[in-house]
Amino acid sequence: MITVKLYAYLREKHGKQVDIPFEEGMKVKDIVERLGLPKEKLSLIVAGDKDGMASRMMDVPLRDDMLVHIFPPVAGG
C-alpha cells in the first residue's frame, strides 16, 4: 500500500490522506494521475527519502509501503 498525504488546498477535493494499492513498477506520476491531481498546481513532492519539485519527481519509482507527501505551491517564513 502507498500512503499519499495531501496538503493545503489539495485537501479540498481529496482529503488529507489516500491509500493506494501498490503495483509493481509504479511511479509517482501514476499516483498523481490516479488521483486526478492538477499537475500544474503541484510543487514539492516527497517520496520516501527523495524530494523535489513535482515535474522532476514524476518518474521516481515507488516501493510498497512508501509514504508520499504532495504539496501545492506554498511558502512561509
Partner 1 sequence: MFGYMGKLLRVNLTEGKTNVENLDLETAKKYVGGRGLGTKLLYDEIDPKVDPLSPDNKIIFVNGPMSGTPSPTGGRYMVVTKSPLTGTIASSNSGGTWGARLKYAGYDAIIVEGKSEKPVYLAIDEDKVEIKDASDLWGEYVGETTKRLTTDKHTNVLSIGPAGEKLVKIASVMNDGDRAAGRSGVGAVMGSKNLKAIQVRGKHKVDLFDEEKVKEKNKSATQKLKDNPVTGEGLPTYGTAVLVNVINGIGAYPTRNFQTGVFEGAEETSGETLAEKYLIRREACHRCPIGCGRYSKTDRVEGGGPEYETIWAFSADCDVKDLAKVIEANHWCNELGLDTISTGATIAAAMELQEKGLLDKEDPDHELTFGNADAIVHWTKKIGHREGFGDVMAEGSYRMCEKYGHPELSMSVKKLELPAYDPRGVQGHGLTYATSNRGGCHVRGYMISPEVLGLPEKLERLELRDKPFWVKTFQDLTAFIDSTGLCLFTSFALNANDYAEIYNNIVGTDWKAEDALAAGERIYNLERQFNLEAGIGAETDTLPKRLLEEEMPEGPTKGHVHRLSELLPEYYEVRGWDEKGMPTKEKLASLGL
Give the footprint of partner 1 on this chain (CB under 8 A): 5, 7-9, 11, 16, 41, 43-44, 46, 48-53, 56, 69, 71-77
Q: In the complex with partner 1, which residue's Cβ is closer, 23 or 71?
A: 71
CB of 43 to partner 1, least distance (A): 6
Distance CA 11, CA 23 (A): 24
- Contact indicator for 1, 67 with CB cutoff of 8 Å: no
Residue 7 corresponds to which cell in the numbers above? 496538503
Hey, which residues does 52 pair with through a beta bridge? 45
Q: In the complex with partner 1, which residue's Cβ is closer, 27 or 69?
A: 69
